[in-house]
A and B are shown apart, each in its own frame.
Chain A
C-alpha cells in the first residue's frame, strides 16, 4: 500500500496564479484533511472531509477550496496564490471505523513557494 500520496511535491507559483494539489489514499479511509505547516505555527487545518462529496472548513480556509468527488481523492485548490500561502502542505486521512482510532496518516508533504 502506498498510503497517502501527494502531488506535486514541489512547486513555485507566481502571485495570482492558481493551482491544485492532489491527494490520494488507498486505505479506504472516510476522513481526509489538508493541513499547512509554517515555522512556529505548527500544523493548521485548512479544510477537511468526512466522506465522499462532503467538505468543511478548518481553522485557516481563506484562499483555498477543496473537493472530494471520489472517496480516495481530496483536492486542494489555490484560487489566486499569495506569498502568505508559501508553506508546506500535508494531506492526511483517518478512519475510526477501521479500528485505527483517531490516528491520522500523513502524506509526504508538498512544498509550495509563491513569489
Chain B
C-alpha cells in the first residue's frame, strides 16, 4: 500500500462547479498535512496547509480526519484557472523534514 494515495482523475468539471478531492495516508504517526498545486510542466507550489480543525482560504476548504486517516480538499465555484494537478502531501516523523507526496489528482475546469 502506498503511503499516500489519491485518485488520479482526471476530474472534468464545468466552470462554477464544486469539486472535492480525497487523499488517504497509511502512517498514523503523520504530523502535518498539505495540499500542493502543480501546473503542467511547472514546479509544485503550496496551496494550503491542513489543520485538524479544518481551514478555509477563499474558495478552498481543507479538512483532516485523523481517525480515518484521510484529507480532503473542496474547491467551490471552480475557475478555469483552477485546472491543475493537486498533490496531497504528508509529513512523517523522521530526519530531514521529509514530506511524502501523493501522485496527484488532475482537475480540468471547462467552459
List chain A positions with a Cβ less than 8 A from chain B.
31, 33, 35, 40-43, 45, 48-50, 56, 58, 90, 94, 96, 101-104, 106-109
Q: Compute how far the CA of A104 lies from the CA of B97 in the bound complex, rounded to whole angstroms.
A: 9
Given contacts A42-B87, A101-B49, A102-B91, contact A56 B42 (CB under 8 A): no
B32/A101 in contact, CB under 8 A: yes
Given contacts A42-B102, A43-B101, A102-B34, contact A56 B96 (CB under 8 A): yes
Interface contact tally, CB-CB below 8 A: 51
**Contact for A94 among B41, B43, B97, B101, CB less than 8 A:** B97
Given contacts A102-B34, A106-B44, A109-B43, contact A42 B98 (CB under 8 A): no
- B57 → chain A, closest Cβ, in Å? 14
A45/B98 in contact, CB under 8 A: yes
B44/A41 in contact, CB under 8 A: no
Chain A contacts of B59 at CB under 8 A?
Answer: none
- A21 → chain B, closest Cβ, in Å? 14
Interface range on chain B: under 10, 10 to 19, 20 to 34, or 35 or more? Answer: 20 to 34
Q: Given known contacts A40-B103, A109-B41, what 13 new A-B pairs fall within 8 Å (CB)?
A: A33-B96, A41-B103, A42-B4, A42-B101, A49-B96, A50-B96, A56-B96, A102-B32, A102-B91, A103-B34, A103-B46, A104-B99, A108-B42
Chain A contacts of B44 at CB under 8 A?
Answer: 43, 90, 106
Chain A contacts of B97 at CB under 8 A?
Answer: 31, 50, 94, 96, 102
Output the nearest chain A residue to B45 by Cβ-Cβ distance: A106
Q: Compute how far the CA of A23 lies from the CA of B105 in the bound complex, rounded to whole angstroms.
A: 28
Which of A49, A90, A101 neighbours the largest number of chain B CB atoms within 10 Å of its CB?
A101
